Structure 1
Amino acid sequence: MENTIKTGLFSRRKDITLTSTDAVSSKPEVPEIYSAQTEKYIKLNRIAQNNGIVLLGSDFFNSMPACELKQALGFDCCLYNRSFDGLTAADSEAVYTNVIADMHPSKILIQLGETDLERGFRSIPEIISSYRNLIASIRKHDRKCEIVIVSVCENNSGIQPEEFNKQLEKLADENKCSFADISAAFSNDAPDIKAFSLLKRFMRDRITFCEAMNMI
């Protein structure tokens, strides 16, 4: 009888261990090309606070000095830029799962598709499909996290994202996400500052009267 009980307990423990291992192995891996930034962000996450606001994007967001702009524009919040140089929409779900999910952000602003359009990696429907997968992953992990989809700007590489941005806005509406149009930033002499100022109201829980009037 004693041997039977021990065997039964051992079997159950073994099942639990296997289940845990399977769960870890099912986590999507971040591609090697992003390894340096992934390692840096994971280290920074040790001192980051939960329930902050996270920026996730490619080159444009990655080059944005978000913390300096936050201070200069007098915006009081916990803001973390977890964008990657050359990040594609297809790789964004792995980045979110490995770098951002454990931060439990209250809000995440996403600007993807820039790299895909520049390099011709994916068609617009394929990029939108990757967006859908990312949104589903965020909602599965934390249903309370607010999602803001940010339009892609024209840039010096010559991309014309008008049709893509229309599809992004439609996607946001279908998935009950906010849509932030920052297309006007490219024509400004300081695009990153202009973009941040346009995004500022999406980072707040409430908007000011002047910001509301600008939306009309």
Structure 2
Amino acid sequence: MKNFSGMNKLCKKGQTVFFGSTTLSQMDLGDLMGNSTNSHIYNRSKDGLTIDQAQKIIGECACELQPSRLLINIGEEDIESADFKVDSFISKYEWLLYQLHTHCELCTMYIISVMSDNPKAVKLNRELAKLAKDTGCVFINVAHNTPWSFISSVKPYIRSFPISFAEAMQYAG
């Protein structure tokens, strides 16, 4: 996390931040930049990140950057644990969101569903969608996507300018 703190000093505040575990840490977020946004995108994701670890590093990974958009994808490691309980996970996630809402003013937060074949993922994603609604976040369902289509599913949420009709048709259906 020392690397993130050092890099954050060079970053522009009020931009888009991705914060999550393995899926996000391995994404080539440069592909998202393209023509989708005229702002910076910072990836503060970490391989193997669990909800407990996320709570400890959220300050360095997101709060310091004061993002205007924060896309969060946590849970893929947690769900594989033998003692995973959806209710406990959601409680910890809610606390994480509370910390973010408290420290990141004027930030729109997006909860990205967990991409997992684990049978518990359906219930978890249902609860994440409910949590997003209850906490003023936006839920992005990418549960059935491949890593490649994940990028196309997220692109509309990081736009910083209006979408044209032709571009809207690309995302339809």
Same fold at TM > 0.5: yes
**Following superposition of structure 1 onto structure 2, how do residues 100-111 of structure 1 map, counting pairs within 5 Å?**
100-111=62-73
Any unmatched runs of 5+ in structure 2? none
* Number of the residue aligned with 1:162: 122
The TM-score with structure 2 as length reference comes to 0.88
- Kindly indicate whether residue 98 of structure 2 is the aligned counterpart of residue 128 of structure 1: no
* Number of the residue aligned with 1:179: 139
150, 153, 158: which one pairs with 1:198?
153
Bigger-Rg structure (1/2): 1
Partners of 1:201 and 1:207 within 8 A in 2? no
Q: 1:181: how far off?
A: 0.8
Partners of 1:90 and 1:127 within 8 A in 2? no
Query: Which residue identity lines up with residue 44 of structure 1 in the other structure?
Result: M
* Number of the residue aligned with 1:138: 100
Partners of 2:113 and 2:142 within 8 A in 1? yes
- Kindly indicate whether residue 78 of structure 2 is the aligned counterpart of residue 116 of structure 1: yes
- Kindly indicate whether residue 171 of structure 2 is the aligned counterpart of residue 211 of structure 1: no
The count of aligned residue pairs is 169
Higher relative contact order (CA 8 A, sep 6+): 2
Any unmatched runs of 5+ in structure 1? 1-37
21, 27, 37: which one pairs with 1:58?
21
**How high is the sequence identity, in percent, across the aligned residues?**
25
Separation in 2 of the partners of 1:151 and 1:164? 8
Separation in 2 of the partners of 1:129 and 1:215? 34
Separation in 1 of the partners of 2:74 and 2:162? 25
* Number of the residue aligned with 1:5: none
The TM-score with structure 1 as length reference comes to 0.71
4+ residue runs of structure 1 moved beyond 6 angstroms? Answer: none
Greater per-residue helix proportion: 1
Q: 1:184: how far off?
A: 2.9
